[in-house]
Structure 1
Amino acid sequence: MKTIIKTLKERWFEAISPQRLALLRIATGCFSLWYLISRFEMLQKMVKNTSAFDPIGVLFWMEEPLSATAFWWISVGLIVLNIFYIIGWKFKFSGPVFALLTLLFFTYRNSWSMIYHNRNALVLHIVILGFVASTDAWSVDAWQSGRNGNKIKKAHFNYGWPVVLICAVTLGSYFLSGIAKIAGDLALEWANGSAMRSQVAIDAIRKSVLIAETAPLFKIIYQHTWLFLGMGILTLVLEIGAPIALLKKRWGMVWAVLTWFMHWGIFLIMGIRFRYQMTGLLFLSFFEPEKWIAFLRKKIKGKKSISRETTAIVFFDGVCSLCNAWIRFVIRWDKQRRFRFAPLQSAVAEKVLGYDFSHEKIDSIVLVDGAQKYVKSDAILRITKELGMPLKVIYVLRWLPLQLRNGIYDWVARSRYSWFGKRTNCRIPKPDERWRFLDT
């Protein structure tokens, strides 16, 4: 018993780098942002069916649903806070607010005829990360703190216990699932696999009736009863034995890998997608992903020392005041000297792009990087990606629909002369930056 207590104490108060908490914040934030954007229209339609509203959890007190307009604004606000959560900006305020609003939002979503248990772990992870120091690395807050002269945070148990708590919450959810199985009337059937086999069969019948297709491996697996015996036992072992994985890191890693395979097995046999689990994001806290990032950065850095010899070219409207301000901004932040520049009205633009812009209406910046060409919002986002932190986090906006991004870009482009003015001649570069401009 003393050994177990000692092991748990060492595990809970282990010194972990702030980068791991930051990665968990970014990973959970990106997944929730994907969910909110990809399900946005569906959720707006769902809440219009007021007869299906049956409040649960912390919203049990609600007597009637929110109006569709109010829910729309809450959804948009949550997306904005989600972005703040990912980039780690003003986190002492935005973190807890986003965490609590996420809890309320998903509870509200589950109050409409069906409870989606597979999102519960995501919500709990965000609630934990929203209230701890998960922005002491890889965030706008950390970058601003560094500029103010504060030291870079080192590994500490303050970053360790939240990671272990996330592991414990994950393990606890599977343990409760296992308890629910053996405490029910089908306890023995779950152990020998017959309950699982029946569930798979019912699911296949439902799918064949509703969508005329079954999961890829259903017909192959269903005929072999002994396979369900093995899968039933393995499932119960992973669920009932989940708390043991908290004792040692290696046990936790093994459990995470096996459980990840289990979810992929569920998908192949039943066609049910548990995306947070199948992507591996649910199990990220059991590993040391910051070391993976450090390894990749080291490899990429070695390659970049060669690839940086070739620069990308940014073509811009030479007489646009806004465009020239943007070029000055890029020059100031381009520490790697990645970009060179040329007006779209220049001979270089005509040669590289194969089109004469000198007498045409110009409505887009153009980025040429090797064989790739980017325009409008894609060009802006690709440029910010290369400028390093904290501007690099803006690249997450690429997840927004292209039509929406370019719509905003076109709106600004159409009014840029009236809003910001127009120059009579193309910009003349300063002597120390002249080498970066082509055909000037």
Structure 2
Amino acid sequence: MKTIINAIAKRWFEAVSPKRLALIRIATGCFSLWYLLSRFDMLQRMVRDTSAFDPVGLLFWMKDPLPTDLFWWISIGLIVLNVLYILGWKFRITGPVFAILTLLFFTYRNSWSMIYHNRNALVLHILILGFVASADALSLDSWKNHRKGRTVKKAHWQYGWPVALICVVTVGAYFLSGVAKIAGDLAWEWANGSAMRSQVAVDAIRKSVLGAETAPLFNLIYEHTWLFLGMGILTLVLEVGAPMALFKKRWGVFWAVLTWMMHWGIFFIMGIRFPYQMTGLIFLSFLEPEKWMDTFLRKRRHRDEISEKATSIIFFDGICSLCNAWIRFVMHRDSHGRFRFAPLQSATAQKMLGPDFSLEKTSSLILVEGGQSYTKSDAVLRIAQNLDFPWNTAYVLRWIPRFLRNGIYDVVARSRYSWFGKEAECPIPTPEERMRFLEF
């Protein structure tokens, strides 16, 4: 027993980076903002149906719904506070106000039709984060403090216990769900899978009657009762055994991953979406997202350092109108000045591309970067990767098989003169552009 208490105390008062708490704040804020914006019109239509109003929770005392105009302004105010919550501006005031208003808003929303329990965890997470120091990093408040020369906050237990509390809330939601299954009429039928199989069948029939499409995997697995036995046992283990995730970090990560997969299984089998759970945002408190962010930024800085030190040169066909247009396009969207340019017809090309270089046999575009040469579609995509947003998003096309990419490239390259024409000679760049050219 003492070992268990020590393990819990160690987990509860663990020194945690303020970035972790801040990233959870940003994640919950972005999700709630998405919900408010995407459901805005639906919520405004919903509150017009006064006959469906049945107050629950903290609003049990209300006899009549709010005026629709007032609810519209409350919705706008909540969206504004949501943005400030994400940005972390004057968080000692905006954080608690947003947290309380979020609780009241979602309680009011649940006072119409069914109670959407899958969003309760989000509301409770925001309620915790709004009242703790979750804006001590990655916020406008922390940025202002940094500019004033104040000490940057480091890992401390004051950031650890709110994360632990969020874990407890998350685990508690699943544990109560498991207890409700066992305490209900179906009780242990959930364990043998029969209750789950019946629920899946009822959901499919309902969708069929309403003309909706059944879930992707329903027809494939419904006849296999042994699958439902396994899923029923796993579901109860994950829900009733959820408190075990609080004792050790590894157990928590393992439980979070399996539970996240369970939600995706529910989607594929029944077509039911739990967005907060399926995105994995509900499980961030069990992970170490600040380490992911630091690793990403470290790699990004390393890549930028390499690109600054390395010479990235684009060799292009100087008499091709398409190639010249492409070079101008790149130049105007390369705000960091990563690339230098030279025609394939230049002495620089002959010198840098080596004795095997032949203008007649080469591609119409060659990128030399970090001592390596890239041609055809590989060169185009690596160039695009280093352009300004949104042009750098074109790099996702690298997932297209190379033979398809290069096939399209070859067709355009072979026909570039007939389709786009030739220049009489390499165009002379403007004085501002000349410093970007090795030779012209």
For residues 373 and 4 of structure 1, do their structure 2 counterparts lie closer, same or farther at Cα, with a shift above 3 Å needed? closer
Shift of 1:370: 7.1
Q: How do 1:231-250 residues align onto structure 2 when only pairs under 5 Å count?
A: 231-250=231-250
The 3 A distance-change label for structure 1 pair 373 and 296 is: closer
Which amino acid is the alignment partner of residue 59 of structure 1? L
Cα offset for 1:149? 1.7
Report the counterpart of residue 210 of structure 2 in structure 1: 210
| Alpha-carbon distance, 1:147 to partner | 1.4
Q: Which residue of 2 aligns with 1:198?
A: 198
Question: Residue 404 of structure 2 corresponds to which residue in structure 1?
Answer: none
Aligned to 1:166: 166
Distance 1:369 1:105, change over 3 A: same
- The TM-score with structure 2 as length reference comes to 0.71
CA distance in 1, matches of 2:278, 2:212: 24
- Output aligned runs, 1:8-407, within 5 Å: 8-305=8-305, 338=336
Q: Which residue identity is paired with 2:116?
A: Y
Cα distance between partner residues in 2 of 1:62 and 1:26:
33
CA RMSD of aligned residues (A): 2.5
The aligned amino acid for 2:219 is K
- Shift in CA distance, 300/117, structure 1 to aligned 2, threshold 3 Å: same
Q: What per-residue deviation string (whole Å, max 9, x for no partner) do you get for residues 63-86 of structure 1?
A: 111111111111110000000000
Alignment identity in percent? 71
Name stretches of at least 5 consecutive residues in structure 1 with no aligned partner. Answer: 311-336, 341-367, 383-434
The structure with more radius of gyration: 2
Return closer, same or farther for 1:80/1:196 CA change in 2, 3 Å cut-off. same
1:320 paired residue number? none
Distance in 2 between the 1:28 and 1:11 partners?
22
Question: What's 1:411 paired with?
Answer: none
- Deviation of 1:209 after TM superposition, in Å, equals 1.6
Unaligned runs of at least 5 residues, structure 2: 312-334, 339-383, 394-431, 436-440
Whole-angstrom distance in 2 between the partners of 1:160 and 1:372: 38
User: Alpha-carbon deviations, 1:48-69, whole Å to 9, x = none?
Assistant: 1111110000010111111111
Matched-pair contact (CA < 8 Å) for 1:50–1:65? yes
Contact 1:11 1:164 in 2 (8 A): yes
TM-fit CA distance, 1:304: 2.5
Corresponding residue for residue 318 of structure 2: none
d(CA) in 2 for partners of 1:252, 1:149 = 38
The 8 Å contact of residues 88 and 139 in structure 1, kept in 2 or not, is answered as yes
In 2 relative to 1, CA 11–371 (structure 1 residues): closer, same or farther, beyond 3 Å?
Answer: closer
CA distance in 2, matches of 1:303, 1:17: 25
TM-score by length of 1: 0.71
What is the CA distance between 1:305 and its match in structure 2?
A: 3.1
* Amino acid paired to 2:144: Q
CA separation of 1:99 and 1:373: change in aligned 2, threshold 3 A: closer
Which letter maps to 2:27?
A
Q: 1:151 to 1:58 in 2, by over 3 A?
A: same
Q: Which amino acid aligns with 1:245?
A: A
Q: CA deviation at 1:212?
A: 3.4
Shift of 1:373: 7.9
SS state of the match for residue 269, structure 1? helix
Structure 1 match to 2:398 = none
- 3-state secondary structure, aligned to 1:187: coil
Q: CA deviation at 1:189?
A: 1.1
How far is 1:372 from its partner? 6.3
CA distance in 2, matches of 1:150, 1:231: 53
Query: Shift of the alpha carbon at 1:115?
Result: 0.7
Contact 1:59 1:108 in 2 (8 A): yes
Match of 2:7 in 1: 7
SS in 2 for 1:48: coil
SS at 1:171's partner residue?
helix
What residue is the counterpart of 2:332 in the other structure?
none
Structure 1 contact 204–214 (Cα < 8 Å) conserved: yes
CA 1:214–1:90: 2 relative to 1, 3 Å: same
1:369 CA displacement: 10
Distance 1:56 1:132 in 2: 27
Give a deviation string over 1:416-437, Cα, whole Å, max 9, x none. xxxxxxxxxxxxxxxxxxx89x
CA distance, structure 2, for counterparts of residue 373 and residue 270 of structure 1: 38
1-structure distance, mates of 2:308, 2:242: 48
Residues 308 and 338 of structure 1 are in contact (CA less than 8 Å); yes or no, is this contact kept in structure 2?
Answer: no
One-letter amino acid matched to 1:158: Q
* Compared CA separation, residues 9 and 229, structure 1 to 2 (3 A): same
Counterpart of 1:344 in structure 2 is none
> How far did 1:114 drift?
1.1
Mapped to 1, the partners of 2:308 and 2:208 lie a distance apart of 54
